[in-house]
Amino acid sequence: MSNNISIRHLRAFTEIAKSGSFTRAAENLHLTQSTLTATIKQLEEQVELKLFDRTTRRVMLTGEGENFFPVAEKLISDFDTAFNDLKATTSQQKGKIGIAASPSMIGRMLPEIIKSYHQAYANIGLYLRDDNASGIEQRVLENDVDFGLGGNHSNQPELNYQPVLMDQYGIVLPSDHPLSQAAQLNWAHVSSLPRIHLTADTGTRSQLYKLERENNLGLNTQSPLIEVSTPAGLADMVKAGLGVSILPALAASTSAFSTLTFMPLQSPELQRKIYIITRKGRALSPAAETMMIMLQDYFKTTQLPHHVTKVPS
């Protein structure tokens, strides 16, 4: 026999058990007595047991009803808790948001927007995953985070890429470097200089490969003398005078590069796009949806770092 017992059957059962009366239970549940009687009849037919003994003066639980009563109360409690949790999530009184982003996004762009969100929705947990471009995509694909902020590393067919920022490439060099006083620098100026690059597994380095191929920049990025796996380590190498580096403006605006000079490169002026990355077919929670909208508005209205621009609508 199929099980057609619902939460209304359990509420009817427990209310009658507590009040000892169909009349009072019907009043408490805002039901007619005939509706309540039919509901209990359906329940007893489903379990094939008599749950109440009815006398002219009182309704009492049978032995089987006594055994079932605490179980029914727990089922109702669990249902109410789960339903209230859903409502709390919808109203953003409860929940958690995960975001994967590059170190430069986390360090330079996200603190202010996270502060604003946390002030508005103090009960929503926030966790950030610092990762490279391919790692950001993978975390979104695996549902480890709600969405990502980064480059389009591999154009995954299961992901949506919404462009939000344009980030111009330039050269990072010590402030006392002879070229730091130049009015304008071209890519040709960089080709003959000793350079330090991020390692090949980073999105910045793979994007440089692509730029070199598409624009014939003559950088020979395949065989640099020095490679570093982190932006902070790269900044230390440049400060030590071991060479210059090519970075997007946002990466060069983080605190690790605060004592270095960033100069945008011209002829050609090249930019990378930064995207909000979501998984196709996956609905965001109300909290994550609100955070994403706030991010989009923030990128459109805030004063961005030099040489970082919003994508035209």
Distance CA 37, CA 34 (A): 5
- What CATH code is assigned to 7-90? 1.10.10.10
Distance CA 185, CA 269 (A): 10
Distance CA 296, CA 97 (A): 16
pTM of the model: 0.67
Cα–Cα distances in angstroms (integers) from residue 242 to residues 173, 253, 255, in the given order: 10, 20, 20
Supply the pLDDT for residue 1: 46
Amino acid, single-letter form, for residue 48: E
For 148, the token pair is 């990502």
Distance CA 251, CA 235 (A): 11
Q: Is the CB of residue 163 less than 8 Å from the CB of residue 313?
A: no
Q: What percent of the chain has pLDDT over 70?
A: 93
Whether 272 has a pLDDT exceeding 60, the answer reads yes
CATH superfamily of this structure's domain 167-271: Periplasmic binding protein-like II (3.40.190.10)
Mean pLDDT score of the chain: 86
Is residue 94 very low, low, confident or very high in pLDDT (cuts 50, 70, 90)?
A: low
3 state DSSP class of 163: strand
Is residue 102 very low, low, confident or very high in pLDDT (cuts 50, 70, 90)?
A: confident
Q: Is the CB of residue 100 less than 8 Å from the CB of residue 148?
A: yes
Measured from the Cβ of residue 16, the count of other Cβ atoms closer than 10 Å reads 27
Query: For residue 222, what is the DSSP state?
Result: T
Is residue 172 very low, low, confident or very high in pLDDT (cuts 50, 70, 90)?
A: very high
Q: How many alpha carbons lie under 13 Å from residue 221 in its C-beta half-sphere?
A: 22
Supply the pLDDT for residue 220: 65
Q: Quick check: do 7-90 and 167-271 share a fold?
A: no
CA angle 164, 165, 169 (to 5 degrees): 155
Whether 67 has a pLDDT exceeding 80, the answer reads yes
Measured from the Cβ of residue 150, the count of other Cβ atoms closer than 10 Å reads 27
Is residue 168 very low, low, confident or very high in pLDDT (cuts 50, 70, 90)?
A: very high
Of the ranges 88-97, 162-171, 208-217, 290-299, which one carries the lowest mean pLDDT score? Answer: 88-97
Is residue 309 very low, low, confident or very high in pLDDT (cuts 50, 70, 90)?
A: confident
Q: Using one digit for the tens of pLDDT, what is the confidence trace for 8-30? A: 999 999 999 998 889 889 998 88
Cα–Cα distances in angstroms (integers) from residue 21 to residues 35, 64, 86, in the given order: 14, 18, 33
Contacts of 302 (CB under 8 A, 6+ apart): 112
Is residue 199 very low, low, confident or very high in pLDDT (cuts 50, 70, 90)?
A: confident
Q: Topology of 95-164+273-310 in CATH? A: D-Maltodextrin-Binding Protein; domain 2 (3.40.190)
Question: Facing residues of 150 across strands?
Answer: 275
Q: Using one digit for the tens of pLDDT, what is the confidence trace for 110-136? A: 999 999 998 888 888 889 998 888 889
Supply the pLDDT for residue 242: 92
Higher pLDDT, 172 or 181: 172
For 246, the token pair is 């090519």
Query: For residue 284, what is the DSSP state?
Result: P
Whether 89 has a pLDDT exceeding 60, the answer reads no
Is residue 92 very low, low, confident or very high in pLDDT (cuts 50, 70, 90)?
A: low
Distance CA 93, CA 215 (A): 50
Domain positions in the chain are 7-90, 95-164+273-310, 167-271
Amino acid, single-letter form, for residue 213: R
Q: Using one digit for the tens of pLDDT, what is the confidence trace for 206-227? A: 788 788 888 877 776 555 578 8
Whether 160 has a pLDDT exceeding 50, the answer reads yes
